[in-house]
Amino acid sequence: PNEYQLISGERRFQASKIAGLTQIPAYVRTANDQQMLEMALIENIQRENLNALEIAQSYQRLLAECNLKQEELGDRVGKNRTTVNNYLRLLKLPPTIQAAIRDQQLSMGHARALINIEDVDKQLAIFKKAVEEELSVRKVEALVKALNERHIEKETSKPGLDPVRKYEMNKIQQRLASHFGTKVALKADPKNRGEIKIPFNSASDLNRILEILEII
């Protein structure tokens, strides 16, 4: 006799049995192990009660285990690459902040604001303030903006540096960090010679950056 394996729809299947149904509509597909994993992960992402961190972890699994590119992943889950990248950036936050997102103490909006702080200690300090004082997303964004502006002011006030040029370099650095979804180091001398460093944390993270550069 033909044998079938349930790939997705476990909850609907169990609900149908409880309801006493003997027949339910279904799609029959031929799939290998990787395709089965992909379909199961995508169904899991589409659950309504997933928090932002669980979605980010599922996206990461799809990229790493199913060999998908970010654009392909976006097509599979019905999101654009920017949205997918915003979720993936959550995985770069310190474990304490990730745990708060998982436990729904912190929203996606709060987390996206905190990502823009380069110093981990300052990141954790504003996170703690946000949770203890139940700050709105807008308030946290304002705190982060003020912190980054003070940092730029401090850097441009160093002796021997051109304040205007330093400010321009910091703005470019921030735009690069936003574009690549990771901290970017930009250095330049008065003759406009320098370097750009884009760090990555894993093979999949490197592939993500190469995709943005359209190298692969």
Q: What element of type H or E holds 197?
A: strand 194-197
Comparing 40-44, 77-81, 166-170, 180-184, the range with the smallest average pLDDT is 40-44
Alpha-helical runs (H) found in the chain: 10-18, 33-45, 52-65, 70-77, 81-89, 95-102, 108-114, 120-132, 137-156, 163-180, 203-212
pLDDT above 60: residue 160: no
pLDDT digits (tens, 9 = 90+) for 85-129: 888 999 999 999 999 998 888 998 999 999 988 888 989 999 999
Q: Report the share of the chain in percent with pLDDT over 70.
A: 82
**pLDDT score, position 212:** 86
Q: Flag whether pLDDT at 207 surpasses 60.
A: yes
DSSP sequence for 148-178? HHHHHHHHHTSTT--HHHHHHHHHHHHHHHH
Catalytic residues: 10
pLDDT 10s digits, 23-56: 888 777 665 566 666 666 777 676 667 788 888 8
